[in-house]
Structure 1
Amino acid sequence: MKNVNVLITGANGFIGKNLYVALEEMKNVSIKTYTRDQTIKELEQFLNQADVVFHLAGVNRVKDEDIEFVEGNINLTEKITGILRKIDRKPIIVMSSSIQVTNNTPYGESKKKAEEILEKYAQETNHNQVFIYRLTNVFGKWGKPNYNSVVATFCYNISRGLDVDIHDPLNEIELVYIDDVIKEFKNRIYCLKEKSKPFIHQVTPTYKITLKKLAAQIYEFYNLRKNLIMPDLSNPLTKALYSTYLSYLDQYQFAYNLEIKKDLRGSLVELLKSDHFGQIFISTSHPGVIRGNHYHHTKVEKFCVIKGKANIKLQNIISDEISSYVVTGDKAQIVDIPPGYTHSLENIGESELIVLFWANEIFDKDRPDTYFREVENE
């Protein structure tokens, strides 16, 4: 791809920050940014060089609706189209608008007016590479709480133990993830000759969720540090929300403590649990210690020695046939523990043994599916 000159208006905003970083990662892309602190002369200079203009500047919460919405959402669009007419250039234009253009609110009306200005310019100049994206509620990293998104507000407050105010818990909102927005915008750089028909476009996928369910989901993330239960990340919305939630943690509160259960054998620490993938935990054992000597009917496990030397023995409880595996932390190896095999784990080294375990279900003390039976000597 040839070198592409890109101009971003509103680069300091939520979408602008994410787009700027993503474009910096691309080869052969030169980026200029324009903010409200710069001059019209600078804007003209940038537009005279730009192959692609991402017009993201705008405001959605103001003190004076009659002035600030006009200045932030309408006037800059008029200035851009006026300059492009003057210098007779037709860069690709990608403008972020909002689904609120149909709401008859001052904000929605200002975004609608900006759309109309851009559409009129495109029609009068026969410019067929103008893309207007009516975005729904965008969420993701670097959004501003109490400004950009209810997701940002919920993540920020809940992660800090603050209350969230929900006026209508059953109100359903439609969300779109910032990475999907950026992916769509980046594609416009790869499609320099693609014509826009019609002007109005959408970013997919979008997700619908009630405010009540959204808050409940984020509280699940908050409680993870105590109950260790991971959400179902196979759900794309849950996955995106969890990544977003972590981005709003206090930077000095990333680490958290786990409970260490100790006895004469060594220690055991549970790391993560999930109704979908089971449980991960880690144990330490002193030299000569033997763990296990039990079997399961349905539960299965995987053992991985991280440090030290172990002898893992398994005995079929029907045939009594025994197999053993000597494993060390020097070689990455997993030993499967099928149901119906009583098994033991012995530290046969001279130092501490550290083993990582996975089980396909969370341990339930009322239904442990664990039955004592010693592995016989071979």
Structure 2
Amino acid sequence: MEKSLNVVITGANGFIGKNLVAELNKNENLIIKKVVRDTSKDTLKDYLSKADIVFHLAGVNRPKNDSEFIEGNRNFTNEIIEIIKEQDYKPAIVLSSSIQAVSDNAYGLSKKAGEQVLLNFSEEFKSKVFIYRLPNVFGKWCKPNYNSVVATFCHNISHNIDIHINDENHMLNLVYIDDVIKEFKSLLDDFEDLKSGFKEVGPVYEITLGKLASKLESFKLSRENRMVPDLSKGLFKKLYSTYLSYLDIDEFAYNLKMNVDNRGSFTEFLKTEENGQVSINISKPGIVKGNHWHHTKNEKFLVVSGEGVIRFRKYGTDEVIKYHVSGDKLEVVDIPTGYTHNIENLGHSDMVTVMWANELFDPNNPDTYFEEV
């Protein structure tokens, strides 16, 4: 996309709208006009008269009475179309509809009615119309206790508020906000060449209410047990990012247990079931730590502040090997099995070392054997 495009976004202050605006604002070739609740009809007409593409994201989800569904989901769509009909140039229109459009309820019927307005318009004027029947969209900036169970669960769990589940086995279909925005953004490059009609956003994830709640609870617990959540699956990675966005601003930080003595301190930072753990070791000047070896456990040491020396001696031999380390030159030192080893602070200030071990510490099987280097 090289030429400038005029982009109109209705519902620009809503969940999807806010994310779309944030993404499209990065592109200097886009002229973005935001339509919100208090946008006047004259302003709306002005925006639409210059639009190349309209992202129609405005809608009603939780009205006081069912009649508002039609007003917000069909009538406003029809108002936009009637304005565009009077123009010589007909912009492409992208509609965020819902999978509920196939359901026989007030919300679903209003969404389907809004779709039909666009389909009729497209057929009459041969204009480009793209309709997305979105499943449950989740991600940052989604309002809790509104129309997203993910947002509600994230907010309540992170704020120590009980959640209520009627059916733990109820299956949810979820799509991540960034995937929605990526799809919408891709339209800007070739919407003029695309065929009108229904389009899809993926991937769509399936998860039960019970599993969703359990996973979000584990994210909360991870700050206490220091276990890094399993993020190998795309859904869990996206849920974790979403969960963190609901923390209160005074809850971003959390304390770690520091094991302190006259030599310095040792603090476990992160743990994983599959890939061991990371700890932070602080040594006072002149202090030597270690003097032990392992059968299977292996480690990586990274001095990030201060200076010192790491010494090795292979079990059963006399030769001592030395590696000088410093926070001025970041260098990872592997600690192989079968070598007794220690680390000494040679500087005049605390030496800070990031230590990774390939397994979680097991007090019943520490695999650690004292022997002076």
Structure-2-length-normalised TM-score: 0.97
Shift of 1:194: 2.4
Q: Gaps spanning 5+ residues in structure 1: where? A: none
Shift of 1:234: 2.0
Aligned length: 372
- Give 1:201-216 correspondences, 5 Å limit: 201-216=199-214
**Distance of 1:183 and 1:14 partners within structure 2:** 15
User: Which amino acid is the alignment partner of residue 136 of structure 1?
Assistant: P
Instruction: Quickly say closer, same or farther: Cα 1:191–1:320, change in 2 above 3 A.
Output: farther
**Distance of 1:147 and 1:172 partners within structure 2:** 19
CA displacement, residues 237-285 of structure 1 (integer Å, 9 cap, x when unaligned)? 1111111011000112211111111112111111111113321111111
Shift of 1:2: 0.9
Q: Is the 8 A contact 1:14 1:148 kept in 2?
A: no
Q: What percent of counterpart residues are identical?
A: 52
**Distance of 1:342 and 1:20 partners within structure 2:** 57
Q: SS of the counterpart of 1:193?
A: helix
**Distance of 1:318 and 1:61 partners within structure 2:** 74
Q: Is the 8 A contact 1:98 1:135 kept in 2?
A: yes
Shift of 1:297: 2.2
Map of 1:255 onto structure 2: 253
Q: Is the 8 A contact 1:308 1:329 kept in 2?
A: yes
Shift of 1:161: 0.7
Please give the root-mean-square deviation of Cα atoms over the aligned residues, in Å. 1.3
Map of 1:76 onto structure 2: 76
User: Which amino acid is the alignment partner of residue 39 of structure 1?
Assistant: S
Q: Is the 8 A contact 1:309 1:329 kept in 2?
A: yes
User: Which amino acid is the alignment partner of residue 198 of structure 2?
Assistant: I
**Distance of 1:98 and 1:204 partners within structure 2:** 14
Map of 2:95 onto structure 1: 95
Instruction: Quickly say closer, same or farther: Cα 1:118–1:310, change in 2 above 3 A.
Output: same
CA displacement, residues 4-26 of structure 1 (integer Å, 9 cap, x when unaligned)? 11000001110001001111111
Map of 1:275 onto structure 2: 273
**Distance of 2:72 and 2:183 partners within structure 1:** 24
Shift of 1:123: 0.8
Q: SS of the counterpart of 1:87?
A: coil
**Distance of 1:174 and 1:299 partners within structure 2:** 42
Shift of 1:27: 2.1
| Structure 1 position 152 matched with structure 2 position 116 | no
Stretches of 4+ aligned residues off by more than 4 angstroms: 318-321
Shift of 1:318: 5.2
Map of 1:178 onto structure 2: 177
- Give 1:1-378 correspondences, 5 Å limit: 1-66=2-67, 68-127=68-127, 129-197=128-196, 199-317=197-315, 321-375=319-373
Q: SS of the counterpart of 1:145?
A: coil
Structure-1-length-normalised TM-score: 0.96
Q: SS of the counterpart of 2:13?
A: coil
Q: SS of the counterpart of 1:184?
A: helix
Q: Is the 8 A contact 1:6 1:31 kept in 2?
A: yes
**Distance of 1:357 and 1:33 partners within structure 2:** 50
**Distance of 2:4 and 2:362 partners within structure 1:** 59
**Distance of 1:65 and 1:322 partners within structure 2:** 80
Q: Is the 8 A contact 1:285 1:354 kept in 2?
A: yes
User: Which amino acid is the alignment partner of residue 64 of structure 1?
Assistant: N
Q: SS of the counterpart of 1:122?
A: helix
Shift of 1:90: 2.0
User: Which amino acid is the alignment partner of residue 217 of structure 1?
Assistant: K
**Distance of 2:162 and 2:184 partners within structure 1:** 35
Q: SS of the counterpart of 2:192?
A: coil
Q: SS of the counterpart of 2:42?
A: helix
Q: SS of the counterpart of 1:365?
A: coil
**Distance of 1:331 and 1:151 partners within structure 2:** 44
Shift of 1:321: 4.4
**Distance of 1:237 and 1:341 partners within structure 2:** 42
Q: SS of the counterpart of 1:374?
A: coil
**Distance of 1:92 and 1:118 partners within structure 2:** 10
